[in-house]
Amino acid sequence: MRMEWIVGCWVLVGIFVGSLCWVSKEMKKKNESQNNKGAKVPKGKLGWPLIGETLDFIACGYTSRPVSFMEKRRSLYGKVFKTNILGTPIIVSTDAEVNKVVLKNHGNTFIPAYPKSVKELLGKFSILQINGSIHKRVHGLIGGFLKSPQFKDRITRDIENSVKLNLARWRHMQSPIYVQDETQKITFEILVKVLMSVGPGEDLNFLKREFEEFIKGLICIPIKLPGTRLYKSLKARERLLKMVGKIVEQKKKAMENNSIQETSPVNDAMDVLLRDGGDQNNETQRLPLDFITGNIIEMMIPGEETVPVAMTLAVKFLSDSPVALDKLRDENMEFKRQKVGSSENYAWTDYLSLPFTQNVISETLRMANIINAIWRKALKDVEIKGYLIPQGWCVLASLTSVHMDEENYENPYQFDPWRWEKLEAAVNYTCSFTPFGGGQRLCPGLELSRLELSIFLHHLVTNYRWVAEKDEIVHFPTVKMKRKLPISVTSTST
């Protein structure tokens, strides 16, 4: 690990020295061009050549106020400003309306733009980076599958079984129980089943182990020398591609042998992508197998990162807010009594119709900011609300800044599920609440994520009580608990 950082630092120094003159010259030319046009480029500073203000940006991610980097510059330059992060001159937007325009663009003005390590790991076929009709097609296929009634019925039962089984193990585990680790076991198992119908066993254990190694490299120094973080993650990706690719081939062969009919029920997302024949329903229109394999791996990210972290933070916030926890428990205990009395099964809509539970989830997502920002690149000069975003520049739409802005939310650093009960919430929060992104790239699994959180919270608060140890949230490179949130659990069910 030490060698990796030494190599990385020396490479950065070398790049810095060698690029100093070139960067200065290019920035001077860009600024002269903008001045000649009379364009209103947002104010701000680019900091040091190449590294810009990256160090300040990273440092704030390890504090209790991760948006302090944004807040400081917003107070100096306004809600939209320019800076240089990770070696890239960017326009940062902390304005909800500007973010909405950037996110809703259909690809003719803005395209996805992410750090080099993300591009390297996810590959050229990544749904995060592809644009146009192919993105729309895949997004629609997955979204349609996740919204189907048959899927909703089946996945509700699967999530319930997984949650109950894993929570039951907590009773026999030695304290403390690390919530972040345990919720990952639940969500990863569920998502892999949704994606390719792989259940508990050696294959699932292999996938989880390799995926943990793979995802560590998403945000890292983009150097592929042996021993570096990116190198290790790329090797893990190769092993994942081999295994997932094997499953894709097996499913494809079964379809060709007619053992699986095109009209038979779809079991998972892999089936959906394999069976789609394109607009003209011929073989040339089908999605390539390596495209399907890479994107199935990418779709595992919510099972390892976003949903389990949201579950963990919900437990933390509720631990720190006993009044909210009591109200949540009361609502879910009443819901449980109704179901026991009627002998009806729990349904997807039952969970999502619990008002205070959904308020707790919304407030958790607002404060957690697991997806803290969206990166885009301008294909041409774009003017939004009087700001000019020059062609070729990256735009960072800061979702965290909007969620933690006092103009949008009163006492934004306070966990307050009751804020969502206000009548004006439906109007005022539509633009300023974007935990799943927005526009055409709105996460197709947003309802599934809410369902997982709802089921987890329901069974947790109706069957267990817990005491959480002191822990802190870390916001860089990704959101997580510093100590994985250790708790002591007591069962309340007989």
Residue 253: what residue type?
K
- Alpha-carbon span 355 to 331, nearest angstrom: 9
CA triplet 370, 435, 362: central angle to 5 degrees? Answer: 100
In 105-174, alpha helices (H): 116-122, 133-147, 149-170
In 171-228, alpha helices (H): 179-196, 202-215
HSE-up (13 A, CA, CB side) for residue 334: 10
HSE-up (13 A, CA, CB side) for residue 486: 9
Interacting residues of 478 by C-beta distance below 8 A, sequence separation 6+: 218, 219, 305, 309, 370
Residue 492: what residue type?
T
Give 89's strand partners: 84
CA triplet 340, 343, 345: central angle to 5 degrees? Answer: 95
443 annotated to a ligand binding site: yes
CA triplet 151, 155, 159: central angle to 5 degrees? Answer: 170
Looking up tokens 């069962």, which residue turns up? 491
Give 487's strand partners: 177, 468
- Alpha-carbon span 445 to 146, nearest angstrom: 7
Query: Within 10 A of 427 (CB to CB), how many other CB atoms are there?
Result: 9
Strand, helix or coil for residue 468 = strand
Give 466's strand partners: 489
Residues at the annotated binding site? 443
Residues at the annotated binding site for heme? 443
